[in-house]
Structure 1
Amino acid sequence: MPLPPIYVPPAAESLSDLVKRIAERDEAAFGRLYRHLVRPVFAQVRESLGSSARAVPVTRAVFVEVWRLAPVSHGRHDDVLGWVTAIAARRADDHLRELGRRQPTVGTGHDGHLGRALVATLRAPHAYVDPGSALPPGTGRSRNLHQTEVPT
């Protein structure tokens, strides 16, 4: 079937365009950025940590941070891949330091917690507060945080 003469194929989105849309809380743009970057970020984190099992929760934490920081960071970074991989490197280093301070335990639910945090952040970014953030008290977590399923 021939294309109508007014058809213009969609232009490819740059990573910078996706971050700008994420800053406007566009969940579909976040999904596309995630699909573009999850493999290189996971590979980087796995290489740093030496374990795929340890890399999963750290990779999720990287993307939670990307979602959280996009509104204040979208204009500052021309190199989105560099920005995201810098977050990944810092998160992996933090994880390694944490492992040095305590013995890892099996079944802590850390991975599930980060998955729920990501879902809660996407559903209600104003209601979720990162426990490590400097936001004022009283802006607690979403009530549905513990009822949310982890995406697969």
Structure 2
Amino acid sequence: MSPVCTGAPPAADDDLARGLAAGDETCLAVAYERWSALVHALARRSLGDTAEAEDVTQQVFLGVWRGRHGYRPERGAVGAWIVGITRRRIADALSARTRRADLAASAGTALALAGRPGRGEDPEAVLDRVLIRSELARLPAPQRWVLHLAFYEDLTQTQIAERTGLPLGTVKSHTRRGLRRLHGRLTENDRM
């Protein structure tokens, strides 16, 4: 199939949608030119932060490109589809903002309970520790137990196997699965 948006930009949204679905990057550029100002304005108005609105705008058009095969013309125009993606990305950004605020409040409470409020400790480091503990708590018990022994008690996998009575291969599997899950969740939190 020949690219739809190469040459003159398509006048009709249907042509643009067809080009996006076909993987024509020029059509993505045309969609960006047409709707990025609207997307940015919606995000800026909802979030109240220009930098965050720029991030949302990038995420929206990345979502347009990745989800181009899911667009259904019978459900509405391309512009409405893009606004729908924008609304979801704004909601995600607001939700992430709330989670960050909750984590910061938890970190502040943890410091206050520890009797060390503001003792020169890096708030980011405290927040990281709270986030990691929170994500560790969400792991299945065997993975959480093995990772706790490895990182908080500084045991080797052989020592963990001896202490727990688990076969060494099982300890290695729990470690690998737990680290993958943690990585996935922490990476997901970074994106938000």
**TM interval, short-chain normalised:** 0.5 to 0.7
CA deviation after TM superposition for structure 1 residue 31, in Å: 0.5
* Overall identity of the aligned pairs, in %: 31
Match of 1:47 among 45, 48, 66: 45
1:69 equivalenced with 2:67 (yes/no): yes
Amino acid paired to 2:21? A
Higher helix proportion: 2
Distance in 1, matches of 2:89 and 2:61, equals: 11
CA deviation after TM superposition for structure 1 residue 76, in Å: 4.0
Moved over 2 A (4+): 74-78, 103-106
Match of 1:24 among 22, 25, 45: 22
Task: Give the structure-2-normalised TM-score.
Answer: 0.46
Task: Give the structure-1-normalised TM-score.
Answer: 0.57
- Give CA deviations for 1:39-85 in whole Å, capped at 9, x if unaligned: 01100111110111110111100001111111121444432111111
Runs of 5+ consecutive residues of structure 1 not aligned to the other structure: 1-9, 107-152
* Count of aligned pairs: 97
Secondary structure in 2 aligned to 1:102?
helix
1:56 equivalenced with 2:54 (yes/no): yes
Rg larger in 1 or in 2?
A: 2
Structure 2 equivalent of residue 94 of structure 1: 92
- Give CA deviations for 1:104-127 in whole Å, capped at 9, x if unaligned: 999xxxxxxxxxxxxxxxxxxxxx
Match of 2:80 among 72, 79, 82: 82
Secondary structure in 1 aligned to 2:11?
coil
- Across the aligned residues of Structure 1 and Structure 2, the Cα RMSD in angstroms comes to 2.3
Asked whether the equivalents of residues 21 and 68 of structure 2 are also in contact (C-alpha less than 8 Å), the reply is yes
Asked whether the equivalents of residues 19 and 74 of structure 1 are also in contact (C-alpha less than 8 Å), the reply is no
Pick 1 or 2: higher relative contact order, CA cutoff 8 A, min separation 6: 1
Runs of 5+ consecutive residues of structure 2 not aligned to the other structure: 1-7, 105-122, 125-192
